[in-house]
Structure 1
Amino acid sequence: MRLDIKHWKLLEAVGKYGSLGRAADAIGVTQSALSHRLAEAERRLGCPIFEREGRRLRPTPAGQSLVQAAQLLLPELSRAEKDFEQTAQNASHLVRIGVAAYSAYHWVPGFLASLTVKREKLQVDFVAAATREAENTLLTGATDLLISPVNIDNSAFSSVPLIDDELVLVTHPQHPFADKPWIIAEDLADVDYLTYSLDALPGFEYERFIKPSGIRLRHIQSVEMTDAIVEMIGVDLGISILSKWAITRSLTQKLVAAVPLTENGLPLTWYVLTRKSDAKHPAVQLTLDALCQWFNPR
């Protein structure tokens, strides 16, 4: 190999942050040292890895494949070290699970209880950061399994459908909309609308329900945590469109009400995603199988 591990760390960091300064801060070296390290890597390979685009560094076409390899390989090396330490200490395998977009963990106690016969060999942790940075947490190894309401398009991932769900309007139980058999987008024109993201996320309510109607929501408030949105709706401070499955507990407790979107509803499928590189990782596959059995018992 022509490159050392320090060069692969450089590739991953510059590819992620787009500048030597931010990459140097992330790695913990000076910008000057990182600049010399990049020059050394390019000298060893015989061609440029990055090119300047304004103030940013962008991988060359050939460099892009190296950056992608670094993003995949470094988490695997880190995982191998941690697995070695755990095995050497006779510890259980650690598998990290995240839920994308929604802070929906009402299912966790029942799922963990179903793992009682396997806990000697398996430890499961949950990663809150996946709510906002879903794809990155799976790509970097911060999570090993990602439960997501969208099938993320990334060639490094494998996915399995997990839950059949729907997007619904969430209101206070006494709100005038709560008794409607369904709503249409035009009903939302003058309401206080709460959203956890102002971005028009593909596959969600703006793209599939609001935008096609041509209406403009006049009163929008951004609340970055879905739990907080549900709490605000529970005291009649607005309405929102959310996953019905994600708010199961609040619906069961009748803190909020759910109303279908259009006469036919707006279906939503949740997926569980893993890295393809973990296809033969026993702990990840064991947890994946357990999730599929828990959500879809035969």
Structure 2
Amino acid sequence: MLERIHLIIIREVDRLGSLTAAANALNLTQSALSHTVKKMEQQLGTAVWNREGRSMRLTQPGQYLLALANRLLPQFEHAEARMKQYAQGQRGTLRIGMECHPCYQWLLKVVSPYLASWPDVDVDVKQRFQFGGIGALFGYDIDVLVTPDPLKKPGLRFQPVFDYEQVLVVAEGHALADVAYVTPEQLGAEVLITYPVETDRLDIYNQFLTPANVVPKKHKVIETTDIMLQMVASGRGVAALPRWLAEEYADSMPIVPLRLGRKGIAKQIFLGTRESDDAIDYLAAFVALAREADWSGAKFRS
């Protein structure tokens, strides 16, 4: 019979690379862990690992169980943490997943009043997900997903928070700085700087460059907004960002936001939650605060 401890062992051996390291992490002797592994494989009727000297490589059944462990164990851990919080009289932790790199400044403006209104709720922010943002919601790794690209899935609810315009950001002295709007062809000779996101999920590609069969001269990836815009300001490239963020930085940096195409690129930020969590009051309060706040500075300008 497959038990929770079996999934924990599989995950720890995969994470740490050996039975010895996994035994130490689980506060077990190596012989006890080896015995448990042997008994587990006997009960399952198949090998979970292939032993190659001191190394262990998961078999196909082992790979399946590892994927199962990565889906189910976070749910157990989340449930246990929540029970502990209830037992201690705490409300819990709101875990926010971010699929929108430039949205941290926006998030800070929501989190500050939220924490003041909910002193018994902690907030945690995650950006890296093993199975993507949607998988993190389904897997109970996070409670709220901030994303510009919602996917309609049974059991999930996505609510729009605010509209914004995606723009190109260039240095003040750039050759395009004075144009009314940018065309895809004008970016064919540019170094494009983006966040570390797959190109097929970047608006500058899927809504602007790719439909026109244009690729930039070079594509660079930078994780932080501050460094990205320092590069732009120094003439090392151009970047695509929300207008509200670009204009916020333009107050202190020599950069210019430009419309992408004659009509521009209009986008929305959504908050995704599980429908089964609708009754959680502190979660509903966060969504309500985000939706009711005045984001007039972030609106798409036609």
What band does the TM-score fall into relative to the shorter chain? Answer: 0.7 to 0.9
The 3-state SS of whatever aligns with 1:115 is helix
Note closer, same or farther for the CA distance 1:136–1:285 as it changes in structure 2 (3 Å cut). same
- Amino acid aligned to 1:115: Y
- Amino acid aligned to 2:22: V
In structure 1, the partner of 2:22 is 29
Deviations 1:136-181 (A, max 9, x none): 6545544321211211466564322222223211111332212211
1-structure distance, mates of 2:221, 2:244: 21
Gaps of 5+ in 1: 15-19
In structure 1, the partner of 2:182 is 183
Displacement after TM superposition at 1:231 (Å): 2.3
2-structure distance, mates of 1:27, 1:270: 46
Displacement after TM superposition at 1:251 (Å): 3.8
In structure 2, the partner of 1:159 is 158
CA contact (8 A) 1:94 1:283 kept: no
In structure 2, the partner of 1:239 is 238
2-structure distance, mates of 1:295, 1:47: 58
In structure 2, the partner of 1:250 is 249
Displacement after TM superposition at 1:5 (Å): 1.3
Note closer, same or farther for the CA distance 1:115–1:202 as it changes in structure 2 (3 Å cut). closer
Note closer, same or farther for the CA distance 1:7–1:277 as it changes in structure 2 (3 Å cut). farther
1-structure distance, mates of 2:90, 2:37: 38
CA contact (8 A) 1:163 1:295 kept: no
Report the count of equivalent residues: 283
- Amino acid aligned to 1:257: V
1:2-41 equivalences in 2 (<5 Å):
2-9=1-8, 13=11, 21-22=14-15, 29=22
In structure 2, the partner of 1:80 is 79
2-structure distance, mates of 1:43, 1:190: 62
Note closer, same or farther for the CA distance 1:263–1:279 as it changes in structure 2 (3 Å cut). same
User: TM-score of the superposition, structure 1-length normalised?
Assistant: 0.73
In structure 1, the partner of 2:299 is none
1:190-209 equivalences in 2 (<5 Å):
190-197=189-196, 199-202=198-201, 204-209=203-208
In structure 2, the partner of 1:271 is 270
Deviations 1:88-137 (A, max 9, x none): 3333422122322414322344323433663233222333546x964565
The higher radius of gyration belongs to 2
CA contact (8 A) 2:162 2:291 kept: no
The 3-state SS of whatever aligns with 2:22 is coil
2-structure distance, mates of 1:278, 1:49: 36
Note closer, same or farther for the CA distance 1:68–1:290 as it changes in structure 2 (3 Å cut). farther
Alpha carbon RMSD of aligned pairs, Å?
4.0
CA contact (8 A) 1:161 1:270 kept: yes
2-structure distance, mates of 1:96, 1:283: 11
CA contact (8 A) 2:100 2:146 kept: no
In structure 1, the partner of 2:94 is 95
Displacement after TM superposition at 1:70 (Å): 5.0
1-structure distance, mates of 2:276, 2:19: 25
In structure 1, the partner of 2:168 is 169
- Amino acid aligned to 1:29: A
Displacement after TM superposition at 1:186 (Å): 0.4
CA contact (8 A) 1:162 1:295 kept: no
- The worse-fitting range, judged by mean Cα deviation, of 184-193 and 89-98 is 89-98
2-structure distance, mates of 1:296, 1:139: 29
1-structure distance, mates of 2:278, 2:270: 16
Displacement after TM superposition at 1:252 (Å): 4.7
CA contact (8 A) 1:106 1:249 kept: no
The 3-state SS of whatever aligns with 2:89 is coil
CA contact (8 A) 2:48 2:59 kept: no
Displacement after TM superposition at 1:213 (Å): 1.6
Note closer, same or farther for the CA distance 1:167–1:33 as it changes in structure 2 (3 Å cut). farther
CA contact (8 A) 2:72 2:139 kept: no
In structure 1, the partner of 2:261 is 262
Displacement after TM superposition at 1:58 (Å): 4.9
In structure 2, the partner of 1:287 is 286
Displacement after TM superposition at 1:247 (Å): 3.9
